[in-house]
Structure 1
Amino acid sequence: MTRAHTRTLTADPLGGTVSRTVLPGGLRVVTESIPAMRSATVGVWVGTGSRDEAPELSGASHFLEHLLFKGTGRRSAMDISAQIEAVGGETNAYTAKEYTCYFARVLDEDVPLAVDVLADVLTDSRLSPEDVETERGVILEEIAMQRDDPGDEIHDLFAAALFGSHPLARDIAGTPETVAELERDEIHRFYRERYVASNMVVVAAGNVSHAETVSMVDKGFASSVTDPAGVPAALRDSNAVVPPSGSSVTVVGRDSEQAHLVLGCHGLARRDERRFAFEVLGAILGGGMSSRLFQRIREEAGLAYSVFSYSAEFAETGLFGVYAGCAPENAHRVLELAREVLAEVARDGVDAEELVRGKGMIKGGLVLGLEDTGSRMSRLGRGELLFGDQLSVDEVLRRIDSVTLDQVADLAAEVLTRPRVLTVSGPFADTDFTGT
């Protein structure tokens, strides 16, 4: 009989003891035990997101996220929410391009309930035809609401333009057309194929015992998440080719009071060792009120209320974008200033004061963000699911501290000169940004 494999990963001075067990069926359990806390967050991470769907199934991961809370063989939808809320806890879920996360935050004494509810939801959802139809309407309303918010929609438009025919280009929620056509049997098959042991990680952070958590997970998930013969599922198309970079302009005409712009390019893949330097570069460019973009566009020129840069890393590529929201008459000048800042940093790099400030922003954000169990759970879940390991907080801080001016300058010269994609939403014609 195959036995579970357990090891302690870190005993972090800035956190707790992180331990990892792989159960016989391939399910991974990671905990961070912090006895000083009186709460805990339990999360189940599934390595399936919008990029893993066939084009005709676009939106299936997000649809499934909704449906799993609608009832199981043991609990109704009301039972699922009421049992957690009765102990002052909360439960929720979200879907991303490469994973889906389900979680519950409770008092430490209620961890057994949280694990039991999540295990029930993840392994025994009914997916009744009636619930499928009810949630279909809810999701279509959600898509419509998102499209009515150009500040949200512009980022989806940017990703679609940047990634082209690659699965990363697809909207997480799908389209009204694909959601309207998804059938219950298709969603159920997707559920059974994807929600398997080797593709899932259970994480608990807070005042938890690793051994007790493993025992609860083993019991709760044993019924239906063991892969046949324990063979890891090959679930992602590793042959998906990222389209070559190319410059493009996408304009969505809207009768709106504000223009929304995203200017960006391909970034770094998730496992690129330069990712810490790239984070520092992003903070310097558009990470706060002292950033170059904020100072130039808002503080000096007064042309926008909101301006920032952001990045995202995926398995084989990434993205970098600069967002600004401004009055339509200021859009071209804002775009011009953003390009000036990117060109300056690409050509000249950054100075020592900016480097220190950028490092401080990243380090402070990391440590301050770990003051609740939910953030700790998320860090562990992403580390295990996306990287297959855990870096201690100390190690991450060390890597950020080790970033040099030359590393940032080299990255800026490489990334910020790549062909750029521009997406614009506002009261414009298609030709208003031609040649910009």
Structure 2
Amino acid sequence: MHTVELQGEGSGVKRTVLPSGIRVITETMPTLASETVGIWVDSGSRDETDRTAGSTHFLEHMLFKGTRTRTARQIAETFDRTGGESNAATAKEYTCYYSRCLVDDLPVVTQLLWDMVLDSLIDPAEFERERGVIIEELAMDADDPTDVLYESFDSFVFGDHPLGRPIGATKEQIAALPHEVLLEHHAANYIGPRLVFAAAGGQSHEAVVEQVLAATAHLPVPQAPGHTTEQPTAEAPAGSRPLAGSRPGRPERTAPGFRSGTLLVDKETEQQGIILGVPGLPEAHPDRFTFSVMYSLLGGGMSSRLFQSVREEHGLAYSVHCFASRYQDAGQFGIYAGCSPAQAQAVVDLCAAEFARLATQTPAEDEVAAVIAQASGSTMLGLESSAARMNRLARLEMSGQPFESPMDALARVRAVTPEMVRDLAARLHAQDAALVTVGPAKSLHLPD
């Protein structure tokens, strides 16, 4: 085993790579009596094929349905007895199983999470029952116009690329998914080198490592060269890792293109949902700190330009804001608004005008300073949560980003200048845009 203190002596952030290839990364918060932990799997819906579409999300459901030593009811009762919370999430690039509990209950919760992840039965009868549950879940999502809008946007701009596929796949794909696909998916992806155990809270790193070792002692040691069990070299800082896409043991990911143009999805709704978007920044892009300031200034809150213009000044929409999706090798940046169909084109034009203004006119010093102050405050308040810190550790580890202390990250944000914001907005705005809408309006178009 090899342990590295990632953010300097005394930072409380450590990573240990176990002989199995599992990476254990923790942040000790000594004043807390609780711990938030998660098992992160380096596999998401973008790693699926047409044959296996939906298997990542389906498997997430199945791991709560019983193991070799626990029934589904016993799993639920054990989580309930800890008095905390537990759940799972499937995304396009990862899957996570997590729980928050008292430090005293951490050994039980750690053992339970690993039992689910490594030793689930994935029973054929349970599989057939859960197939119906997932189809109902997809039907519920199809009734939500906002879900339809965002999935339509992904499908339109990414086309046939796996990032364009809904995370849960389609009802037809789930209805046809064979049981053996889940078994194959589990065997190929739920292996040591593709698993990260992240924890933040009152327990020490050494105690967490001991608990993970005890729960995963039966895993084999990887034999293939080049896994993340390798020691850092003299040229590579101790806190650095290979980029996510270069890790062996995972199918190679290919970057998507971005289709511009207009897609109108006809749906009988009271409001017209609108997304105006362009290619954004990948997860680890060097301009990510400037991007956070630009995002907040344009559409990150009630004082943002979009909110003040579209809602407060013109009264055209109740909800208007920016959104961003960031992946290993691609990203999206866009503006969302919901408004009456009759006002939809005016809202599109106004949103586009605000984006263009930011791209061509340097914002005032005091406006940028106010955004940075707000971002600094919200960042520090958010990091008082052990769940936020656990998520931050895991995302940095899985994306291959260098570890920085929260204060170092804030310093990077505070170094952003108005000129940097304008220049990034100009680069994003210069790209061809996509307009996707859901609702009854039939003649919307991109601004000239």
Structure 1 CA distance for aligned equivalents of residues 133 and 259 of structure 2: 37
| Pair 1:330-2:327 in alignment | no
CA contact (8 A) 2:435 2:446 kept: no
Give the structure 2 partner of residue 262 of structure 1. Answer: 275
The answer to whether the 8 A contact 2:273-2:439 is kept is yes
Shift of 1:228: 4.4
Contact 2:435 2:445 in 1 (8 A): no
- The match for 1:350 is 363
2:146 equivalent to 1:135? no
Distance 1:206 1:194 in 2: 28
Pairing partner for 2:249 from 226, 234, 257: 234
Aligned match of 1:6 in 3, 7, 25? 3
Relative distance call for 1:211 and 1:310 in structure 2 (3 A) is same
Give the superposition deviation at 1:271: 2.1
Deviations 1:90-137, CA, capped at 9 Å, x for gaps: 210001110011101001111101100011001001000111111111
Shift of 1:226: 4.4
Tell me if the contact between 1:297 and 1:303 (Cα under 8 Å) persists in the aligned partners. Answer: yes
Cα deviation per residue 1:338-395 (whole Å; 9 max; x = unaligned)? Answer: 0110111111132212211221232222111112211111111111111254221011
Partners of 2:216 and 2:166 in 1: CA distance: 30
The residue type equivalent to 1:242 in the other structure is P
- What's the secondary structure of 2:101's corresponding residue? strand
Instruction: Return the letter of the residue paired with 1:408.
Output: V
Partner of 2:115 in structure 1?
Answer: 120
**In structure 2, the residue corresponding to 1:203 is in which secondary structure?**
strand
Q: Which residue of 2 aligns with 1:312?
A: 325
Whole-angstrom CA distance in 2 between matches of 1:64 and 1:58: 11
User: Share of identical aligned residues, percent?
Assistant: 40
- Measure, in 2, the Cα distance between the counterparts of 1:212 and 1:229: 29
Match of 2:392 among 379, 385, 402: 379
Residue 164 (1) aligns with residue 159 (2): yes
CA contact (8 A) 1:349 1:412 kept: no
Structure 1 residue aligned with 2:433, among 377, 398, 420?
420
Residue 175 of structure 2 aligns with which residue?
180
Further displaced range: 365-374 or 278-287: 365-374
The one-letter code sitting in structure 1 at the alignment partner of 2:306 is L
Q: Secondary structure at the match of 1:193?
A: helix
Give the 3 Å change call, closer, same or farther, for CA 361–435 of structure 1 in structure 2.
closer
Aligned partners of 1:384, 1:178: CA distance in 2, in Å?
Answer: 32
1:11 shift after superposition: 5.8
The answer to whether the 8 A contact 1:72-1:121 is kept is yes
Number of the residue aligned with 1:46: 41
Q: Is the 8 A contact 1:286 1:292 kept in 2?
A: yes
SS in 1 for 2:378: helix
Q: CA deviation at 1:56?
A: 2.2
**3-state SS, counterpart of residue 318 of structure 2:** strand
- For 1:73, what is the secondary structure of its paired residue? coil
**Who is 1:221 aligned against?**
216
Partner Cα separation in structure 1 for residue 132 and residue 377 of structure 2: 42
Partners of 1:26 and 1:230 within 8 A in 2: no
**Residue in 1 that maps onto 2:50:** 55
2:251 partner letter: R
Distance in 2 of aligned mates of 1:225 and 1:434 = 57
Check whether the contact 1:28–1:201 (CA below 8 A) recurs between aligned residues: yes
Find the counterpart in structure 1 of residue 240 from structure 2: none
Instruction: Mark the runs of 5 or more structure 2 residues left unpaired by the alignment.
Output: 228-247
1:179 deviation in Å?
1.1
Q: Retained in 1: the 8 A contact 2:262–2:436?
A: yes
Partner-residue secondary structure (3-state), 1:56: coil
With 210-219 and 382-391 compared, the bigger mean Cα shift is at: 382-391
1:63-100 Cα deviation digits (max 9, x unpaired) = 11111111100111111111121121221000111001
Distance in 2 separating the partners of 1:370 and 1:94: 20
Q: Which residue of 75, 83, 95 corresponds with 1:88?
A: 83
CA distance in 2, matches of 1:225, 1:257: 56
Q: Which amino acid aligns with 1:180?
A: A
For residue 233 of structure 2, what is the aligned residue in structure 1?
Answer: none
Following the alignment from structure 1 to structure 2, what is the Cα–Cα distance between the partners of residues 273 and 434?
33
Answer with 269-278 or 217-226: which moved more: 217-226
Deviation at 1:434, TM superposition (A): 4.7
Displacement of 1:10: 2.5
> In the TM superposition, what is the alpha-carbon distance from 1:218 to its structure 2 partner?
1.1
* Equivalent residue pairs, number: 427
Tell me: CA distance 1:226–1:181, structure 2 relative to 1, closer, same or farther (3 Å). Answer: farther
Secondary structure class of the residue paired with 2:64: helix
Find the aligned partners of 1:176 and 1:373 in 2 and give their Cα distance.
36
Q: Which among 63, 66, 83 is matched to residue 61 of structure 2?
A: 66
Contact 2:342 2:441 in 1 (8 A): no
Q: Note the C-alpha offset of 1:286.
A: 0.2
Post-superposition offset of 1:12: 9.0
Alignment correspondent of 2:148: 153
Q: Residue 433 of structure 1 aligns with which residue?
A: 444
* Alpha-carbon distance in 1 for matches of 2:379, 2:73: 36
Amino acid at match of 1:433: L
Q: CA deviation at 1:411?
A: 0.6
**Pairing 1:185-196 to 2, within 5 Å after superposition:** 185-196=180-191
Q: Tell me how far apart the structure 2 counterparts of residues 435 and 400 of structure 1 sit (CA, whole Å).
A: 32
Which letter does structure 2 place at the counterpart of 1:62?
H
Tell me by how many angstroms 1:329 deviates: 1.1
Opposite residue 5 of structure 1, the aligned amino acid is: H
Aligned to 1:292: 305
